[in-house]
Structure 1
Amino acid sequence: MLRPSQINSLKYAAGLTLTSVAIGVTGFMTIEHFNVPDAFYMSVITVSGGGYEVLRPLSQAGRIFTSFYILYNLLVVAYLVSVITTFIFDGELRKIFKMYRTDQEIKRFSGHVIICGFGSNGRKAYQKLLNNSVRVVVIEQNEQLIRQLSEGYNGADIDGDGVPGGKIFYVFGDATLDPVMEQAGIGRASAIIAALPKDSDNMSVALSARALNPRLNIIARASEKTSERKLIAAGANSVVMPDEIGGSHMADLVVRPEVIRFLDLISGLSADKLRLEELSFQQLRREMQGRSIRELDVRSLTGANVIALRQQNGTLVVSPDANYCPAIGDVLLVLGNETQIEAFEVRYRQL
């Protein structure tokens, strides 16, 4: 990833070169009365040190100007060579090509999730999505984190839980800016997670994302309770407050520890993980559609349990009646260990 100092060096070198040519053109036109094409030719052969034929003998003033002009250009060329050499030996050209290829790959993404900010919350969200085979694009403007992403995290275990992270697709920039979001494919994304440290920045992300993609599912992080209502008004579908959740979690470990340990099993925070999966009526195999929960017989056939059902009207039914027949728009919530859920997926989900 190009560092800001390296970008500035490139700009500075290009600026010095153009300034040098401009000085040469002006000097040769003023002192030697060359026309513009001839003055440009003289400037270029002087800057490049090419040693091509001089158009005509120079006056004394012209020779003095050219002498100082050559000395000035020795410094310009030396600086330009040092910048180019740094790029070659530091592998920056390779990194630029790699970034270009990444951008081209992102342009082909559709239905992916964008994570704004790769701090502790962003990394955890990334790992969870990766474990569920969701394609993710990260937006981050911290140079150090980007370097870790591009050099250290690709194919590595990102948060130390023993799960390889795979290739990370990222965009370097400020997530509150529309061009950066568009580079991450905001128009084709299915969801965005605003996990930036400042609530005001997450509001900007929500506002911009909603304007760029009205159908987008926006999940925003908040530090202050007062920000929750503002984030919803800005377009967020859901607001998560990690500090408040953490405090409540610690208190619940005191008053109902076994409940929390069970929830940790579902959330994956415990070594013996349980998995909570959802299956909509439309995803159910056709031969299974129209059957009651009793007739589906999920527990006997897979070991998993149907613990809840969300109906089309939004009503959540816990421990649904065994005689209930799921209908269009309903979503089954199934709980089991990894093996049981895999068996459930194979038997009940449409291929």
Structure 2
Amino acid sequence: MEQIKRATYFLLTLILLGSIGYMIIEKWNFLDSLYMTLISITTTGFNEVHPLSYGGRILTMTIIITGVGTIAYIGGRAAQLIIETQIFRRRRVDKKVEKTQNHYIVCGYGRLGNLICDELAAQGIPFVVIENDDARIDDLIENEYLFVNADATTDEGLIKAGIDRARGLVAVLPTDAENLYTTLSAKVLNPNIFVVTRAVEEETEKKLIRAGANRVVKPYEIGANRMVNLLLRPSVADFIDIVSHQKGVDLGLEEVVVGPNSFLKDKTIAESEVRKRLNIIIVAIRRPSGEFIYNPTPDVIIYEGDRLLAIGQIAQLNQLNQLS
């Protein structure tokens, strides 16, 4: 950057000295002298202001050679600076990715992947995107999202994104085949990772489940159900929007895992006093076996490994998560 500044100062000095030179040699006024200096440096090719003397021609050649060389130098250094800045940013991102733990991997930064990243970022959830499209990578840099420039269907790309340290992976690549291959590769590299993937074709869902996907999302089916709910049960649909972390609303629906040291462990819902202490309602419990208990009564016992579906204010839900 300092070299570009010095070269710019030199160029401005050249313009000033060139103008003074024409004023002395050719006896021109300042405006004509400045104009001649500028068209000489920029090699615009306009006609001379006035016929040049022998000395004026020598001055013009000197200005052209020196000016063009200086402009080329400034342009080269500016391009180098831009490239070095991009490389530095990429290296800084790579180092951050290497240090990221318990994060989520988003495979694909298309329209759906973009929305997923925005929602994760809004909730403060760490994530890493795998993308190899240059235009989308520029968007990732602009949004300051962590990413790796790689193919999500390859083991190398998943390893670079920290598949061994990740909590979960969402595959939203353009085709079902790519999502299938990514799911299979992810489960081979980390059998315990939770995988959510998108399916467009109906017959692909079973293949994705066999490949190891924990959940398969079909956007068209979800969109249709959503539109029907809005049509027939608009208040219910609106309430689901509110508890699904809608921006600007301090109410949420959270999944809380009961750990070995949780204050909830081996207590009934009444004994836990979550309603009294945190003003939170437990609307369902999912046992480790997969059994769901909906609208549990106060005498239902909470065990280690249970997943509680709780509704309440965001701050209280976060507190419950910390205590669990």
TM-score where L is the length of structure 1: 0.66
- The one of 126, 142, 145 equivalent to 2:117 is 126
- The one of 110, 115, 118 equivalent to 2:106 is 115
- The one of 300, 303, 308 equivalent to 1:324 is 300
Aligned counterparts of 2:238 and 2:247: Cα–Cα separation in 1:
8
Amino acid at match of 1:153: N
Counterparts of 1:327-346 in structure 2 under 5 Å?
327-342=303-318, 344-345=320-321
Amino acid at match of 1:113: Y
Distance change >3 Å, CA 304–CA 171, structure 1 → 2: same
Aligned counterparts of 2:260 and 2:276: Cα–Cα separation in 1:
21
Deviations 1:168-212 (A, max 9, x none): 111112211221222111222221110112111111111211122
Give secondary structure in 1 for the equivalent of 2:164: helix
Aligned counterparts of 2:240 and 2:225: Cα–Cα separation in 1:
13
> Which residue of structure 1 aligns with residue 227 of structure 2?
250
> Which residue of structure 2 aligns with residue 265 of structure 1?
242
Counterparts of 1:119-268 in structure 2 under 5 Å?
119-150=110-141, 152-154=142-144, 168-268=145-245
Aligned counterparts of 2:205 and 2:266: Cα–Cα separation in 1:
41
Whether 1:298 aligns to 2:269 is: no
Amino acid at match of 2:290: G
Distance change >3 Å, CA 260–CA 292, structure 1 → 2: same
Give secondary structure in 2 for the equivalent of 1:282: coil
Deviations 1:139-192 (A, max 9, x none): 112211111221x212xxxxxxxxxxxxx1111122112212221112222211
> Which residue of structure 1 aligns with residue 252 of structure 2?
275
Aligned counterparts of 1:317 and 1:105: Cα–Cα separation in 2:
41
Distance change >3 Å, CA 310–CA 169, structure 1 → 2: same
> Which residue of structure 2 aligns with residue 6 of structure 1?
none
How many angstroms does 1:295 deviate by? Answer: 1.8
Aligned counterparts of 1:136 and 1:144: Cα–Cα separation in 2:
20
Aligned counterparts of 1:289 and 1:216: Cα–Cα separation in 2:
25
- The one of 92, 106, 113 equivalent to 2:83 is 92
How many angstroms does 1:114 deviate by? Answer: 0.7
Deviations 1:282-337 (A, max 9, x none): 16644x53331112222222222111111232211011120122122222221012
How many angstroms does 1:90 deviate by? Answer: 5.3
Is contact 1:176-1:204 (8 Å) kept?
Answer: yes
How many angstroms does 1:138 deviate by? Answer: 0.4
Give secondary structure in 2 for the equivalent of 1:118: coil
Distance change >3 Å, CA 170–CA 320, structure 1 → 2: same
How many angstroms does 1:87 deviate by? Answer: 7.5
Aligned counterparts of 2:187 and 2:194: Cα–Cα separation in 1:
9
Give secondary structure in 2 for the equivalent of 1:268: coil
Give secondary structure in 1 for the equivalent of 2:87: helix
Aligned counterparts of 2:277 and 2:262: Cα–Cα separation in 1:
15
How many angstroms does 1:86 deviate by? Answer: 7.0
Amino acid at match of 2:138: R
Give secondary structure in 1 for the equivalent of 2:293: strand
> Which residue of structure 2 aligns with residue 106 of structure 1?
97
Is contact 1:299-1:305 (8 Å) kept?
Answer: yes
Is contact 1:87-1:93 (8 Å) kept?
Answer: no
Give secondary structure in 2 for the equivalent of 1:100: helix
Deviations 1:214-252 (A, max 9, x none): 222111111121211111122211111122111110111
Aligned counterparts of 1:280 and 1:188: Cα–Cα separation in 2:
19
How many angstroms does 1:132 deviate by? Answer: 3.5
Aligned residue-pair number:
253
Q: Percent identity?
A: 32
How many angstroms does 1:272 deviate by? Answer: 3.3
Runs of 5+ consecutive residues of structure 1 not aligned to the other structure = 1-80, 155-167
> Which residue of structure 2 aligns with residue 310 of structure 1?
286
Aligned counterparts of 2:215 and 2:318: Cα–Cα separation in 1:
29
Give secondary structure in 2 for the equivalent of 1:107: helix
How many angstroms does 1:97 deviate by? Answer: 2.5
Is contact 2:256-2:320 (8 Å) kept?
Answer: no
Runs of 5+ consecutive residues of structure 2 not aligned to the other structure = 1-71
How many angstroms does 1:274 deviate by? Answer: 2.6
Distance change >3 Å, CA 178–CA 281, structure 1 → 2: closer
Aligned counterparts of 1:328 and 1:226: Cα–Cα separation in 2:
37
Give secondary structure in 2 for the equivalent of 1:249: helix
TM-score where L is the length of structure 2: 0.71
Distance change >3 Å, CA 91–CA 269, structure 1 → 2: same
Is contact 1:187-1:213 (8 Å) kept?
Answer: yes
